Structure 1
């Protein structure tokens, strides 16, 4: 595929494609307060129609606590589940604006604090990202039990930013989780020891800032090139390592429509993606 000449935009190739280890800190400091309030137990149908958040104290072994925050949509389930992995020295609430937008569109969104990479860990270890795909699989399994009747086990996706996107790549390659039907990688590249993408095809959307110096454009596009499944690449020419904060409305709109299409089969949402991605000529969707 041809590269950019200056600022000329490469247009969408979604038609057929969609139809058919040194990282620095990945986010800004977390808010001082939790976003939203915990909802009551979802055991009664009236309470299932309430939007809000819940907290779970999952644990994969004695030294791998995985406290998990869940954003719940309004309405009656079951809803698709989007599992989200944070970046280094970050936590789920750092992405609350984006995750809340997905929940408002009708998705359950869940994100854990990884034991050795979240922003308040007492034992920070960037290399521990190689263990995070197994953490992710554990949390997804626990959520299917804890939110039975609210989460649809046949419509699960994984997303992540930076080290969390690398974790997500692992879930579609060497640690393939066949429950996943779609994936989103924001500023992501392959695992430190790359493995080929494996298992049943799943649509993948890459979101990348052209000015990112932490995960470079070449690294992200290299991972994209390794995918033989339905895929798309959202490029923000002025975006940095935090493209979801550089262009929040563009990223929220494009990713939400991607979820609506890939997890709900909404063809109109798929058709909107090129328009979502190119307001004022700021972005291009390959």
Structure 2
């Protein structure tokens, strides 16, 4: 009960102010991507709206593994290290800023899906540096713009965070429909039985709020960045969870994230960034970004591709003395 009272009090503090931190090339080959991809993909991006005429229209940005026509030159990108200087045995991911092309054809195969939730007064593209690197590593990332908490919301309502887990489930249902719709560019490319949820700040609360009693088994895992839990979180089927938090976060204190970690019933890990705030570590080049990218990518590869090697790499990839520490109760 003490933990519940603490979380309830600090949800109010969170809601008081947290912010940012086409056509296919043909029928996809369902066997093309069944194991962890061994190369980094270029990234495509497209947009659609869920329930455009309903009471809560939900604009969605989707980043996905793509193919780039040979006739189009790749634009220059500034390299940003994705891993610590030490050598890694991980399959190549997006170690440089990925090439992103609107409407590029989707790469062959079916890819697991990540639902990414933004924080208060934020937008999905504010975390594109992290999201696009996940897409380059072989995941489709669908990021909704929530109607009453986004940066441009006319009727901004911080309490609307409590309605956002249901928005995410509406998005999942729409992705299931799109995957079966042969006329859609994403059709046949979405592994809708392998879904993770992730989010920052209020989006982290939104992510936790998806793991309630009776949630669909499609939802395999979750990543909570600088967030906590909503009432009813972690009451459903057990799923692995990864928590990431700055130890000096003034908006959502690290104790809130640790309380959520303690409450999570299954395999879980807590990555703490020493002395860091509410989300600067999500910026490429900032201290801790390399560890966050490596750790979250390992976690997604393990939980969505069943990649045990990624699970075994995760503790080493997560920790850099003086920058990060990892607490975990993951499988050996």
Q: TM-score, normalised by structure 1?
A: 0.83
Maintained 8 Å contact 2:124/2:145: yes
**1:262 counterpart residue number:** 303
**2:196 counterpart residue number:** 157
Moved more, 165-174 or 200-209: 165-174
Residues in 2 aligned to 1:84 and 1:100: alpha-carbon distance in whole angstroms: 11
Is residue 172 of structure 2 the alignment partner of residue 131 of structure 1? Answer: no
Name which of 113, 123, 145 aligns with 1:81: 113
Moved more, 61-70 or 181-190: 61-70
Residues in 2 aligned to 1:222 and 1:177: alpha-carbon distance in whole angstroms: 24
Structure 1 residue 103, shift from structure 2 partner: 0.4
Over 3 Å off, 4+ runs: 48-51, 174-178
Name which of 27, 42, 48 aligns with 2:24: 42
**Unaligned 5+ runs, structure 1:** 1-20, 29-39
Q: Counterpart of 1:279 in 2: which secondary structure? A: coil
Maintained 8 Å contact 1:185/1:207: yes
The Cα offsets for residues 190-234 of structure 1, whole Å up to 9 and x where unpaired, read as 11xx22512221100000100101111111100111111011101
Rg comparison, structure with higher value: 2
**Unaligned 5+ runs, structure 2:** 1-11, 33-40, 67-106, 179-185, 328-332
Name which of 235, 241, 252 aligns with 1:204: 241
Maintained 8 Å contact 1:60/1:138: no
Is residue 37 of structure 2 the alignment partner of residue 52 of structure 1? Answer: no
Is residue 57 of structure 2 the alignment partner of residue 65 of structure 1? Answer: yes
Q: Counterpart of 2:13 in 1: which secondary structure? A: coil
Shift in alpha-carbon separation, 1:140–1:218, aligned structure 2, 3 A: same
The Cα offsets for residues 56-81 of structure 1, whole Å up to 9 and x where unpaired, read as 11127633111100001133221000
Residues in 1 aligned to 2:232 and 2:202: alpha-carbon distance in whole angstroms: 16
1:1-286 equivalences under 5 Å are: 21-23=12-14, 24-27=17-20, 40-42=22-24, 44-45=26-27, 51-59=43-51, 62-74=54-66, 75-146=107-178, 147-173=186-212, 176-191=215-230, 194-242=231-279, 243-245=281-283, 246=286, 247-286=288-327
The Cα offsets for residues 175-198 of structure 1, whole Å up to 9 and x where unpaired, read as 83432001000011111xx22512
The Cα offsets for residues 69-105 of structure 1, whole Å up to 9 and x where unpaired, read as 0001133221000000000000110000000110011
Maintained 8 Å contact 1:232/1:285: yes
Q: TM-score, normalised by structure 2?
A: 0.72
**Matched residues, number:** 253
CA RMSD of aligned residues (A): 2.1
Residues in 1 aligned to 2:263 and 2:45: alpha-carbon distance in whole angstroms: 36
Residues in 1 aligned to 2:322 and 2:26: alpha-carbon distance in whole angstroms: 47
Residues in 2 aligned to 1:256 and 1:210: alpha-carbon distance in whole angstroms: 22
Structure 1 residue 127, shift from structure 2 partner: 0.2
Residues in 2 aligned to 1:50 and 1:213: alpha-carbon distance in whole angstroms: 36
Structure 1 residue 248, shift from structure 2 partner: 1.7
Residues in 2 aligned to 1:196 and 1:253: alpha-carbon distance in whole angstroms: 26
Q: Counterpart of 1:114 in 2: which secondary structure? A: coil
Shift in alpha-carbon separation, 1:43–1:114, aligned structure 2, 3 A: farther
